[in-house]
Structures are given as structure tokens and as C-alpha cells.
Structure 1
């Protein structure tokens, strides 16, 4: 290949796809292409493949947006051939396809100007003004054929640098990219919008704008996070819902932050305006007799059915806290649950619709976690429709300080999602962009982003003063007409409506709002929006119901043996084979069942009873500590076998178990969302180590612990959090039990620290057999998985057995001198040390359940020992674990019963800023000290 050819960068630019397709056409039929290209390919023959590889390798990257590209035009002394000039012209047109979006002025305020990509300049391709009048054969690009460069540029700009900015250069899938280009260039997307449709859109805009204006007038200064300035988002939602409904989507689950939420609740989801207006006057969103604290109105959710073209579509808005973007994976989990319930393997019946703010989209790490996990099989839902309300500001922070890059949507490139940008004041461009985005999602079942560049009329909230920090922006906004009025002026100019007609629509809507305001003054909700639909067979907490969870012994034996019997054709790992043989012996003996067996029997019995089970987490298929082996891998061909899905031909339900990606926040949020919409499935998230849940603390605090109290949304998610001090250091010891106990109130969660396989068996089965749902937090064991004493018998799981919130020491029953109360693994340390020392006057009581606290049962046991000293013993540090939680509860019991000692003593590690010692020697020393103290 000649040096002159290699130095011409326009041959290695964005024309790669064109040259590759032209070369393929040449190979099939040389005479089908322009003679100059025939000569070109003929001249290089064997070097053509190398040429195409070089073209692909040197395709410009997005980073060139921020770095000027030096012109690589030939020097005046070099001879420029027709082939080279044609290639340069093609390269320029292709640059507009890839980067034309950078030349569009998207800012409705005109405070920022377009900053075109350097490759949009003639000079970057070795072209000049004189070349504009020259004729070139562009082939099938934009269906141009042979035209002047000026004509080609005009068409490229009209499609790719006009109203809708679209980013395509990062998309690897040729079919998707070609389809999008075809929609922009050739289809009905460019057909005139019907006048009646324009009137409908204007009405949507008017109602969105003037509802906010009404609230601002009637309740001045009240926080509502107005959508004013971004009303185009309501237009997108209306169009999308209509198109998705027509395409037989049955459910749409919406997730969004605050801005515009009140309009979405009323206009999109049909919440009565008078109900929302009553909340501005201080009325609770649900009946007062529920005695729930509730949440602010711009955090609440709602649901409704809408009929579109004779088809019903169910819409639901997921409640969320102020932790922006945390709701994303919750929505994805809800959609996956709905798809599974509908047996929708094609992922075409339920859909996720996420609305983002620009600053949060660029700044929150939960966005990346959600996007990345959403591409994996365990979390796939068929693509998300992403709508960005781009206010060009985050709270008081300018764009230059809240992200790096041209767009807030740059994160979407990581998953090859197409990104559309549009000016929020250009309503008809918004309409076309929305239609294209919807059609893409329907065709390819993949994520798509629509970025509406707009503004917010007031500050971050209506009580904020934006002039403090953005005076120039808000001087402009103060003079700027709203999108509804701007679009009305356009339609009046087009003679589609008249000014009096527009005023009449506005007056009628204002009259309607005033009538709703009057109704709101006497309105009080009489019905709570919970336990409906799939939840209707369940109810709020019912303390009167008991949950016998035992299973007939012979059934357990049968299932246990089936779990451990693997087809002979399956090449099982020899170490696992020995474990499974031991399990068969356990079942034959009926005793010494280990932790894995107790857990597996709980799952097996639930599956046979018709409860589906979903388990995800890092390494959960095998189990971090190699105890579970729920998924077996053939040692020859790596096929998979799941014993729990091969129990019986009459098996009613299935286990779905998947290793998660290295995520906590998104992974846990997804499973919370799944349980949110699938209360009859046992949904479990397992942390690799319990303290890794730290990475999902937002989900734990805001959703799991408080979701029911704030939003009337029950949840039955199970968290398995490996917990126990084994000398593995600060990051592999504590699941932060104390944090969950601090969050525990009003029977919101269950916290258990089981010490036997039977306890776990019953706790898991109880979760599904109760007629209510509460999140279950399990301090799961590590060393107890194989501890010789941490075993159970089948009798402890047989019929008429159930979960016991505390277990009394069976060895010493007489009046004791000392009662040690503990929870979890430390029981076995105490038990073995007591036996070694031959102590006969010390009783050990272990709390299998810490919350709800078993006060009644504990009171009964403590009353048996009136002359004892009472000690709380834990392996955690004094400022961690359960000590501070149980202390006043136990001392309250001691004051209520006839015992001599009313104070609870402490034996455990001293206070520490770190959760555990980093050295085994120190760990053992600490353990010996506090165990000896407790027993001495």
C-alpha cells in the first residue's frame, strides 16, 4: 500500500462502513460500482483486506470531541486523485451521520451554543470550499447517488444536524445502526404530523404547565419539584404509552425522581387532582387509622389501568426516596417479576420506563450498576425506555462541575444504547424523537435513551432562590415563554387553532382545577392503596396467625435423597460426590443434618408446594463457602444440573438461581423490586460476605426497612448475610447486625441469627406460609456450615414443628447461678468452653430471633432462675452486635419478674472503631478473654 494513501486520514475515518460495503459489492460484481472504485480496488487486490482492517482500526473515537483533529489533507505538492477526493467527500458525509448531533443547538435558553465535532469541517477531510460544487458518487449513502458535495451536505445536515441529535457511532450492532438511519432517512418519521394530533399534544402541554402554575398560585413556596420548563417529558410519556399499548405491552412500570412527579401522578396515572390537592392542605395520602408515617407527596407511587384503542395497559409508578436513581433497579426487578409471572420469556409484555435527571444520571454510581447488570441474563427485561429531563443544572451546580463530557447520557454508550437528544421547546421534534425511541425499543428489546434538553423554571425546589448562584440563567428563564404557549403560538400561526380556542381550553382547565380544589377541602381518603391485585390474598401483619412449618418426615427423607442422587450420565466432581453421598447417609440416619441440608430441604419442600424461588448473589450457585452446590457443573462438558429442579415429575414450581455480577446496590434493589411484584415467590439475595451489604445501604435503609411505613408497600425479600468472627479480618467478619437492629421498629423487618439447620429450615418456610410479608434478615453462618455441633435431626423438622425464636440450654435445667444470653455462633464457643471447664451451674440461652424481640418467651425462661446473674455475651464489639439493642429490653424483663438481679452484665469484645481484628493471633486472644470472662 502506498505511503500517500496511508497518510490520507479520510480513508480511515467514519467512511469505514461505506468502503467495506462497497468492497463487498465489488467482489460480487465489479461492474456494479463506479469505474474509479473498480480501478481503486483492482490496484490493491490482495492488500484490500489489510486496507479494510486499517480503516476499522483508525476509525475516530469519541475522545476526539475534546481534542482538535489536525487536517490530514495532502500537501499542495502531492497529487490528489479522484478516488481520494471521492473518499474525502464520503468521509465528510459519514462524519455528519456519526457526529451531526454536535452541530445542533439543543438549548432552549440559547445560553450555550453548539460545539461541532472537528470532523464536520471540510478541512478535516482535505476538502475546501471549491469542492462544494463538484459532483461525487455517494452510492447508497443517504440515497444520494451522484450529486454535488453541497447538495449532499445539505441533506446530511437536514437529517443528522437539524432537529434530532442522535448518537450512533458507539453502536456495534450493524443491523440496529442501519435501522435507525433508515428511520431517520426514509420512513414515515418524516411525514407531516396530523393537525388533530398536534391539538392533542398542545392540550397535554397546557394541562401540564397550568397545573403547576395553579399549584404555585394556590400554595406559594411549597415544595413540589415542578416540571415547568420540561413539560415535553409529559408529551413523551403520553406518546410512548399510546404506542406501547398499541404494540400489546400489557404493563409499564415507571421509576422517576421528584421533578414532574405530581404531573405524572395526576395526568399520566389518573390520581384525582382533588386527592393530590388535599395533600397540599395537610391531609394524609391514606386513611389516618392506619397509623403510618407516610412520605412526602413527590415520593409516592400510584397505579391505574388505561385503555388505548380498546386494549388495557396497566401503569404503575414506583415509590422512591430522595436517593436519586436508586429506584432504577427496583423497577427492573418489578418488571422481571411481572414477566416471569406472565411466562413472558420474550420480554414483550411488561416494560420499564425510567425518568432521569441529568445531574443524577451522570453522577450516581447506581446508574452504572443498573445499566451493566441489566444486560445480564439474570436481570434481563428486554430493554428499558430511558427519558432524561435535562435541566442543565444539578441543584446549584453547573454542568461543568457535575460531569465530564459533552452529554449527561455518555454512560449509555457503555451498553451500546442509541441516544437521542432534542430541544425541549421544539415539541414536534420531541414527538418524532419519542416515536423513534419507542419503535427501537419495540423492535430490538434493548435500552434506548431520549434526552430532552430543557430547564427548570424555579430553583431546585420552589422555596429555593436560584439567582444566588445562576443569575444569568434565571434572568433568561424569567423572560422565556413556556413550551405550551410557544407551541400554541406556532399552531396559531399555522392556522391549526385560534387564540380564542386556546384561551377557551385554558379557561376550562383552570375552571376544572378550581372545582377540584373545592372538593379537596372536604376530601379524606377512605381506602388504602395496598394488598390489591397479586397481593390481595395477603394482608398487613396478623400477630394472631401461627405458622406451623414442619413437613412429614418421610417426605423429607424422599426429597433429601433425590437432592443427593445425581444422574449417572452426569460427570460429577469427586469432592462433591463424596458430599452428596454423606447427605444420603444423613437422610437414612435421620440425624446430623448439616446446614446445607436444612437449607436445601426448605427449598425443596417449598418448590413441591408450588412456591417459586429466586436466589441471586455473588457465587450463590456454589455458595461462597462451597456448601450449597445448588448448581452442578459437569466435569467433562461443563453442562449444568440443578437438583432442586429435578425433584419430581409433579414438581409445581422452579428454582431460578444465578450468580450476580460484582454489584450490591443494583443487585439487592433488583431483588427488592422482584419481591415487590411477586409476593408468592421466595426471593433471596445473598451477600458474598455480610458486610458487603454496606454497598447497598441505601436500599436497606430507604426501601427494605421503611418501604411499608412510607409507601404502604409490603415486601418479603430475604437477605442472607454471612456473619461470624473467624479471624478473617475487618471486611469478612461482621454483617453489621447492629445496623439492622437500629432500623427495626413497628414490626417492619425480621432479624434472625440461627444456630441450627432446623431453625433456618423453619425460618425460610415460615416466610412463605404466613399470610403477610416482612423482609427477613438472616445472619448466615460461615464456620457453622460444617460445625460438628451445628446439626439437626429430622424430628426437628417433622410435622407439628415450627420456628423457635429462642432455644434453652438442654443440659442444665436446675436453678442456675448464672444465665448467659447470646445469639449466633458464640453459643458453640460458650458451650464447648463450659464443657471443657466442667461448669454445671451456668445456663446458656440463645436468641434465634432478635427482632421482633421474643420478650414473652424470654421472660418465661428467665423467671426460672431467680438467683442468677444475667450476662449478655457476644463476639462482636460492645458498640456493635446486639448488645445495645437487647440491653434495655432484657433489663425491662428483669424488672418485671421476681429475680434478685435487675442489671444485665456484658461479656464481649471492647468497643472498637474497626469491626474485627486483622490478625488471627489477636482474634483468638480476644475470643478466649471474653469467653472466659462470661463463664468465670
Structure 2
């Protein structure tokens, strides 16, 4: 056969990879041929002449450079260039010096008829210079070809005018001199300097200008603390005076809530671009949990994209900055990457920039990762990864532009690794020589990158004295800002948040709907489209829900929830719900999406209730809590007038998202003045399902509560749940709502609500049932599902002297209302709090002091003993414990 004529490059690529991964799958002669090339032997291809053998060898050489040429790239400013690699030598393919000036015609190569010498020059310039690129793992041939053409046609370099190069120098100098000024003026204060990674500033500047030119109107950035002050000052234009005031801790520049350290804060602005337009920049606030902001940024972007409509993905660009140690070490990175192409979470591709300091706090790469590159985890997405020398700004800007073009073309993520160093320790008071003496001896000798680039431009025509004038102007600007008497402070709810109140109020909120509207909406929620083939049990369920509405025979939990969503959609309010298996519901109660049993088609009956542009979105999520909850929190930050919900498969599973809960949801308003109306649905209840399927950890959320930062509810009827969800978007303010939703009550025969319960009143924070104060001998206080068990036992024993009080809202509690409702019972012979949770869990530890003060005496506790595990693993043991609780509560 004629190898060169009949085997395409793609086929050759495939055969070679097949030989590398599963050689036994190839015929013996081809195995021998590939083995010969690997060993650099003059092995003839099967049935192939010498000319075709050489042609094929050149094709394989080209493939190898595209595949592993990055191993010869010079990307580390602290190390000399690699000297060579045996698998990239021509001899490894049976080629020698006699072939260098021989012309070849490789397929899919930029220079047809080029000599081997020319081919090698192009390959080495493209793949072995200041840019190392990994892209041959990309499975889509169109993407690979797109990258090949753009890189090999330019040698992976861009051509910049002197004016453009001068702008690069200005940005590098601004970054470096800003850090130097802070170092002099605020001695010993933490700033998490960008020094050693100043190249980031011109990269971001170039990226936003090119993004605006492609139609991007919004760029949302997430980043850790290193370099944040520099980005705020020199990219976002946050006034220097404000930053200096934060260093001086000037309390006269008031802030809302507790505030946060200066290198965690976010910022928003309108930035003018080179093209004369503007782009809206947003930097998301981020705690010290480095990568925790990643899904938050993605959620914010998705919300804006949804608001913009069909062009949203091209208009809103997410950019995430990472440190090398965190990108390799934090599991949330992989979880967020996994959101990339999922229907409910995709954002049209994210530009990731890893600022590689070549060290963590004091930990080097050998102790921080098991991979060659810090970015290797990103290969899971089969997207391009660029490794760039941190002192070659022109190469970095070229890669930024190429990455943006790839993202806009294919709607996929792209990774840029800027390899530099950290000039100081982890913070400016840390001594890096203790643990990395050799590295920091080398760093001490490194000339700053802005000076290196100035020297280079001086040889290329930069006017004499221009660099000095530049430095003088930047320093003068910094000094002027420091001498000012006023500092601007970013305060207030802006844009779509302007009509949202900051302050909490417990004023009643109108949430009821007319009876006729409820029936109409209920029919829509239960409708099965004509020609649709439902599962028999689903058809029966939907018919039962419809009948319960029409006949007013008692609406169950799933029906009440559906009415809440339908009512909001009918009023023009969008609803977004996501979580593991939330379309059906973990406990088979929701069925917000119906799947045709014959065709597999999915329909969403509730979408039929939407009016005025409202959208109903319900997505089964990936098996992640942290990434998905972070995403939905970010979505809620951009959706003050929509209802955004996240449901845990079991309430216990929210443990996997504790960083998001603690650092964003519970404290985001106090630290950063950012409100959220996110709803957490956490199934809770002790039904003998073991330690990880019982407790949503009520005690943890109560511990997080202060100054009306959260709303915590444990509703016990479908109507209560209905009013609670509607209240969340009808109240004047926004606070995250944590709902301890039931499991055992979803089908409980007594957990039903009549139409009147939905058509009248609103959410009740407290219910009092049973004997009035004058005849009450025992007052039993509780919350949640155990109320029904107490009620049944009370009715069974005809205990008319008992009064049951159930707390439907656990936080905030209105002290005056509690006193009005409960103090008349203060003289009861017995007052006790009853709960299913262990004594050190649940609401008891939080409510005990409040109830003691309210009644003026210690009250009894009835429940499980203190425990390290929230529930027993034995169903029989659980039943025994439950019987003992009820017996103790109902004893005469």
C-alpha cells in the first residue's frame, strides 16, 4: 500500500494513540513499525517504500511536537531552557541530517513542500518557545485543527505595535510600583503582593479589551487574595485613596455590617475600553477559602446570561484566577470544572488563569501534587491548556487573545498558566528563606519584569526617558491619592437591587391566592400533555392531586409545593430549583419533570403557569454539594426578584457544602453587604434511616444566626410551606432561607391542607393547639414532624389537659409575639421541650436560654441523650428511643 497517499493524518494519529494505549489491538507488522520509530530504528512500514517511510516519519514527528512539544518549552523564569528531549529528536523517527533539506508534503501542515529543517523550525517556534501548549488530548478534531492553524501560522506569537508594547509596559509598571508603594507606606501589613506575577495585569487588561471587541458586555472575575488589591486598583479603577484608607483602618469611612479584610472584598464598575465602548466588570468577594468563589462566579454569570436571553453566553464572560497549589489541591476546582458543559450550569466557557508561584504557603510542587503540571486536573474537560513564561508579556497576551477566541468559538473552558514566582513570602511578614533558600536566592537576583521589558523595548525604539517619565507619573498619582482628605467607599445596593430593602422586618406579608386561581393553577401543574405516555403511577398521582384540588379533600406536601411555584410563575416570578434528583424528588414526591414512558421526552407541566417572561427551571445536579450550592448562591446574587432554591438529597448532605454555607450564605451580607434570597431545602426527620439520613443539623444553622442574617423554618403543613416560599420573594428584603423539609410527612395522612389554608392568611411562625391556659397542666413545646406523633398520642389518651406548641420558624423569633402567645401558660405544672434530635443537637441548645427567660424558670428537656452521632444505625433501636420520648412526654 502507499502509506502517504492512503493514510490520513487523523487516521495516523488514531493508530499511533491506539498503539500507545492498546498495542495488541493492531496487527503485528504495524506494532513492529511503531516500535521501530519509538526506538529510532530504520524500520520500514508494512508494504511501504523508502519515500513513503520518510514522509510518514515526518508526519509522526509533527504529531509528536504537537503532542509533547511543551516538554521543551521554556516557561519557567527560574530555570534554564530544557536542553532537549529524546522523543522529539528526528533520530527517534528514523530521520537524520541528510533529510534536513529534503522537501516533504505533510498533511494539515501550514507549509506544504517545506523542508525538514523548515518544519522543525516552525514546530520548535510554535511549541517550544515561551509557550507550551497541551491540546492533542482534545477529542474534537475541529477544535484541534482550529488551534493548529492559529498557532502554527503565527509561530504562536503575536505582532504588537510600539504603542501596544508601551501600553504593556505601562501596565507592568503600574502593577510593580503600586506594590512597591504599599510596601514602603504600610510596613509589615499584609497585602498578598502580586510581585513576581505582575504579568497578570497586562493579560487581564488585554483580555477585557478584546472581549469587549467580540461583543462581551459583562466580565465577572473570581480570584484569591494574592494580587487582588492590584487588580482592584489597576484594572477596576478602585480609588487608591479608598485602598489606602482600608490599610489605615479608618472607621470614619463607614461600612455596612462587620466588613472584611481588604483583600477579600469585591467591586463593580463600568470600564471604558480601547474601542471606545464600555464593559461592566465585577469582582466577586471571596473568603480565604481560595477556590470557594469559583462556583459562585459561574452562578452569577449564568443568572446574567439567562436575563440577557439567547445571546447571554457570548455577552457574559466568566474569568477565574487560581493559584497553582490551590488549583491542584482543592477538590472544588474539579467540581466546578464539571459544571462546564451541563445544561443547568453551563456558562459558555470560562477563561481560567493560573498564576503559578511555584509554591504554596511553604510547600513546593513535589509535596503539593502528584502530576507534572498544576493544571493537569483540567484535562478532564479536554480543553486547551497553555503554559506561559511569566516574564514574556507578549506571549502571555497572545495566549489570552487565543484563549478568548477559542472560548467564543466553541463555548468551552480554556486554561492559561502564567508561570512566575512569589517575590516575598506567603505574606509580606513571612520569611521564605526558612524553607526555600535556593529558590529565594534565585528570586533575589531576578530583575523585576517591568524593568526587563523596558530594557527590551529600549532596543526596539522606545524613546529615551519614556520609562522614567512613566514611573514618575505613576508614583505621583499614588502620592496624590495618599495626600487626599476623602476616600470613596463603595456602598449601597445598585442596579436591580435598588428597590430591595436592607433591613429585616417581620411585618406580615400577603401570600394567599384566590381559591379559583389555586384550582386553575393546580390543574396546570397536574396536566399531562395530549399524546404523552406517562408511567401508570405518575398518571395516578397527578389525577389524585387534581382531585384533591377540585374536591378540596386535602392537598399533600408535593401538591402544596407545586401550587407555590405555579402561583409565583403566574405572577411573573421566575423559579429555579436544582439539586441531586430534585426533578422527581429524592422521596418520589415532586415530579416537576415528567418523562414519556414511550419516547423518553421530558415535559415540565409547571412551565405552563408562567407569564410575563417568567421561567421555570428545574435541574438534576451533578453529585456535588459545594459546587452546586455555590452556583445557586451566585445565581441568587443576580436574581433578587426570582426564587432560587437548592435541595439537598438528604439534609445531612449539606455538610459537604459547609464552606459555602459558613463563608457566603450566612455571613456574606455582614462581610460584603451582598444580599441573597437563596432557599435551602434540607430534608430532616428521624425515621430510623441511620446517621447520615436523619439530621439536617438544625443546631449548626442556629449557631450561625445573628442580626437577622438567616431565616430558619421547620414547617409542618403543605400550606405553611406554600406561604413560606411565597413570602421569600414577596417580602421587602432578602435573606437566605433554610427550610428543614420533612420526609415522613410527605405522605402522612394528617399532613394535608385544605384550599382555605392557601387562600387565606399567611405563614404562621407559631401554632398553639390543645388546652387553653386556664385548664393546661402540661405545655409541650416542639418543632417539626414529632408534633404529629405527640398529637396522635394525646388524642389516643384523650389528654385534654395538654397543650402542644410547635415552632414553625426557628429564627428569627419575635420576642413580643412569643411572650403574648406563651406567657399565659407559665403557671402550667409542667413545661417541656420535646425533640427527636440528641440533646446536644436540634433546636434545644439554642432555645433553652430564651425559653428559660420567657417562662421565668428552667423547663424540662425530653429527647435523646447527648450523642456524637446524630442517629442510631439500628431501626429497632430507633423505634425504642422514639417510644421512650413519647412515653416521657405523655406521662401523667
1:294 aligns with 2:259: yes
Q: What is the RMSD computed on CA atoms of the aligned residues? A: 2.3
Aligned match of 2:653: 692
Q: Which among 863, 870, 873 is matched to residue 908 of structure 1?
A: 863
Preserved CA contact (<8 Å) 1:615 1:658? yes
TM alignment of 1:107-256, pairs within 5 A: 107-110=76-79, 114=82, 118-127=86-95, 129-133=96-100, 135-186=102-153, 190=157, 192-256=159-223
Matched position secondary structure for 1:876: strand
Distance 1:72 1:306 in 2: 53
Distance 1:153 1:252 in 2: 39
Listed one character per residue, the Cα deviations across residues 349-372 of structure 1 (whole Å, up to 9, x for unaligned) are: 111011111110010000000001
Relative to structure 2, which stretch is displaced further, 908-917 or 488-497? 488-497
Inter-CA distance 149–284: structure 2 relative to 1 (3 Å threshold): farther
How big is the shift at 1:837? 2.4
Preserved CA contact (<8 Å) 2:585 2:591? yes
1:880 aligns with 2:841: yes
Q: Which among 568, 572, 577 is matched to residue 530 of structure 2?
A: 568
Q: Which among 268, 284, 302 is matched to residue 336 of structure 1?
A: 302
Distance 1:886 1:70 in 2: 77
Listed one character per residue, the Cα deviations across residues 438-459 of structure 1 (whole Å, up to 9, x for unaligned) are: 2212222211111110011100
Distance 2:165 2:53 in 1: 47
TM alignment of 1:731-750, pairs within 5 A: 731-750=692-711
Inter-CA distance 577–552: structure 2 relative to 1 (3 Å threshold): same
Listed one character per residue, the Cα deviations across residues 377-431 of structure 1 (whole Å, up to 9, x for unaligned) are: 1101100011111101011000111112221111111101111111111122112
Relative to structure 2, which stretch is displaced further, 596-605 or 304-313? 304-313
Inter-CA distance 811–591: structure 2 relative to 1 (3 Å threshold): farther
TM alignment of 1:528-543, pairs within 5 A: 529-543=491-505
Aligned match of 2:886: 931
Q: Which among 869, 876, 889 is matched to residue 850 of structure 2?
A: 889
Matched position secondary structure for 1:89: helix
Gaps of 5+ in 1: 6-10, 24-48, 62-68, 896-901
1:97 aligns with 2:52: no
Preserved CA contact (<8 Å) 2:38 2:87? no
Q: Which among 804, 809, 824 is matched to residue 844 of structure 1?
A: 804
How big is the shift at 1:250? 0.7
Aligned match of 2:448: 482
Matched position secondary structure for 1:657: strand
Distance 2:109 2:68 in 1: 15
Gaps of 5+ in 2: 23-34
Distance 2:115 2:220 in 1: 49
Distance 1:821 1:405 in 2: 57
Aligned match of 1:267: 234
Q: Which among 400, 408, 423 is matched to residue 457 of structure 1?
A: 423
Inter-CA distance 188–608: structure 2 relative to 1 (3 Å threshold): farther
Q: Which among 479, 486, 495 is matched to residue 523 of structure 1?
A: 486
How big is the shift at 1:155? 2.0
Relative to structure 2, which stretch is displaced further, 620-629 or 556-565? 556-565
Aligned match of 1:627: 589
1:431 aligns with 2:393: no
Preserved CA contact (<8 Å) 1:385 1:448? yes
How big is the shift at 1:518? 1.1
Q: Which among 572, 591, 595 is matched to residue 557 of structure 2?
A: 595
Preserved CA contact (<8 Å) 2:826 2:855? no
* TM-score, normalised relative to structure 1: 0.90
1:444 aligns with 2:410: yes
How big is the shift at 1:861? 2.2
Distance 1:875 1:74 in 2: 73
Preserved CA contact (<8 Å) 1:89 1:149? yes
Distance 1:560 1:880 in 2: 38
How big is the shift at 1:904? 1.6
Matched position secondary structure for 2:564: helix
Relative to structure 2, which stretch is displaced further, 677-686 or 150-159? 150-159
Listed one character per residue, the Cα deviations across residues 185-227 of structure 1 (whole Å, up to 9, x for unaligned) are: 2259745310001111100110010000000000111101100
Distance 1:542 1:623 in 2: 32
Listed one character per residue, the Cα deviations across residues 518-552 of structure 1 (whole Å, up to 9, x for unaligned) are: 11xx3355x65231101111021242643121111
Matched position secondary structure for 2:238: coil
Inter-CA distance 885–115: structure 2 relative to 1 (3 Å threshold): farther
Inter-CA distance 652–141: structure 2 relative to 1 (3 Å threshold): closer
Relative to structure 2, which stretch is displaced further, 76-85 or 91-100? 76-85
1:639 aligns with 2:601: yes
Distance 1:296 1:263 in 2: 15
Distance 2:271 2:101 in 1: 56
Preserved CA contact (<8 Å) 2:534 2:594? yes
Matched position secondary structure for 1:892: helix
Inter-CA distance 76–388: structure 2 relative to 1 (3 Å threshold): closer
* TM-score, normalised relative to structure 2: 0.94
Matched position secondary structure for 1:252: strand
Preserved CA contact (<8 Å) 1:815 1:865? no
